[in-house]
């Protein structure tokens, strides 16, 4: 994730600073900035980027002019103070359209969308990802590696095949961001990966050595999804 190559193009220094700060929150450090379209055009001639954050209204060369000059381009996120360009932006098949000032949670949605889009052809369709704040840093979790999520009152324990994270976020909020066809809420305190269940016995799901209760209210749907 930290090796993601990003180019930020905007004639407003404060706008550049916002995107840089948000990316650094996600531990993305490979950043290049340009304060005008002409400089960006020159940079793009000699370097490749994974993600381009692009303002529209800039002197001499607008954001759309820059797009027109690029036969091949990275994923593009429009960052603008104007909603009027949204239709034209999506005609250019941009990844997302952020209207300034945009919040970090909204930016996070864009980055999750970028991660999903960047999955290589041939990868399993369940290899989506999400960002969660664990301690003082934001971490990306590939949902294909996710085993289960356990509520701990004000926190949740997120358990993957390799690591465990403690996250200060409600279980319901995280569960809502997971693919419905791959995860299921089995108890008020647990959401599990359907594909990671080893067996079911005595109204419990077994994932490795973890025994997870299946509540009475959820049993019919859980058994329908896991057993039938």
Quickly count: other Cβ atoms within 10 Å of residue 70's Cβ.
14
pLDDT at 42 over 50: yes
| Within-domain flag for 69 | yes
Has residue 48 got a pLDDT over 60? Answer: yes
DSSP-assigned beta bridge partners for residue 79: 98
Residues 143 and 212 in one domain: yes
pLDDT digits (tens, 9 = 90+) for 56-89: 999 889 999 999 888 788 999 999 998 888 888 7
Does residue 218 lie in a domain region?
yes
Res 168 pLDDT > 90: no
The Cα 6–Cα 111 span in angstroms is 11
Specify the pLDDT at position 228: 61
Q: How many helices (H) and strands (E) does the chain have?
A: 7, 15
Q: How many domains does one find in the chain?
A: 2
Measure the CA–CA gap between 106 and 179, rounded to whole angstroms: 19
Q: Are residues 113 and 173 in the same domain?
A: no
- pTM of the predicted model as reported, rounded to 2 decimal places: 0.64
């Amino acid at each position: 994730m930290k090796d993601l190559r990003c180019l930020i193009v905007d004639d407003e220094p404060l706008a550049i600073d916002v995107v840089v700060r948000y990316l650094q929150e996600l531990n993305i450090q490979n950043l290049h900035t340009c304060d005008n379209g002409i400089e960006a055009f020159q940079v793009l001639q000699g370097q490749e980027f994974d993600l381009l954050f692009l303002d529209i209204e800039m002197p001499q060369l607008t954001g759309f002019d820059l797009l027109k000059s690029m036969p091949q381009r990275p994923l593009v996120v429009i960052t603008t103070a104007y909603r009027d360009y949204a239709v034209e932006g999506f005609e250019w098949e941009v990844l997302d359209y952020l209207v300034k000032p945009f919040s970090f949670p909204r930016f996070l949605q864009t980055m999750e969308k970028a991660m999903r889009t960047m999955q290589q052809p041939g990868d399993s369709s369940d290899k989506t990802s999400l960002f969660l704040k664990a301690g003082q840093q934001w971490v990306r979790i590939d949902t294909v590696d996710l085993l289960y999520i356990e509520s701990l009152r004000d926190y949740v324990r997120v358990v993957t095949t390799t690591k465990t994270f403690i996250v200060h976020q409600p279980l319901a909020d995280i569960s809502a961001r997971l693919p419905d066809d791959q995860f299921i809420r089995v108890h008020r305190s647990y959401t599990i990966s359907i594909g990671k269940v080893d067996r079911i016995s005595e109204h419990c799901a077994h994932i490795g050595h973890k025994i997870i209760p299946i509540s009475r209210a959820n049993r019919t749907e859980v058994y329908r999804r896991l057993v039938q």
